[in-house]
Structure 1
């Protein structure tokens, strides 16, 4: 599946979120990640984020797409990296 993950974390946890998310997805913009991932690996990512999240201050949103068939990425301004530019 294809996912877009965004987070908003307290200052003390931002770097931890960044480090965890970079292990699984492509960092495309501040606190925004995207990429293809299996359901099992997504669960691993979420479980790892749960170890650092402060549920009273932080938020994580995951947008899941079953297929990239309906996916279109429009970019304005500075070109940011995309999961499509990486070969795994």
Structure 2
């Protein structure tokens, strides 16, 4: 499945969340990630994320069947371009 993940997390934990999310998805912009991920890997990611989160933190995951069903428009500088190499 294709996901877009965004988080709003306390300053003390933001570095750990960034490292965790970069293991599974492509870093697009501050606190924003995207990419293809299996159900099992997504569950693994959410379990690890929940362990480090506090009550005031949030993690939002938008999911779809694949990237081809989503339109993406970038205005301004792209933080991290994602190229698909086989």
TM-score normalised by structure 2 residue count: 0.91
TM-score normalised by structure 1 residue count: 0.89
CA distance in structure 1 between the partners assigned to 2:81 and 2:65 by the alignment: 18
Partner of 1:34: 34
CA distance in structure 2 between the partners assigned to 1:5 and 1:24 by the alignment: 11
**Pairwise CA RMSD:** 1.4
CA contact (8 A) 2:36 2:66 kept: no
Which structure 2 residue ranges, 5 or more long, are not aligned?
A: none
Query: Alpha-carbon deviation of 1:57?
Result: 1.1
CA distance in structure 1 between the partners assigned to 2:64 and 2:81 by the alignment: 16
Query: Alpha-carbon deviation of 1:52?
Result: 0.3
Partner of 2:50: 50
Deviations along 1:27-67, whole A, 9 cap, x unmatched? 0000000000000100010011011011x210000000012
Q: 1:38 to 1:25 in 2, by over 3 A?
A: same
Q: Number of aligned pairs?
A: 86
CA contact (8 A) 2:4 2:63 kept: yes
- Corresponding position: 1:59 with 2:52: no
Which structure 1 residue ranges, 5 or more long, are not aligned?
A: none
Runs of 4+ in 1 over 6 A off after TM superposition: none
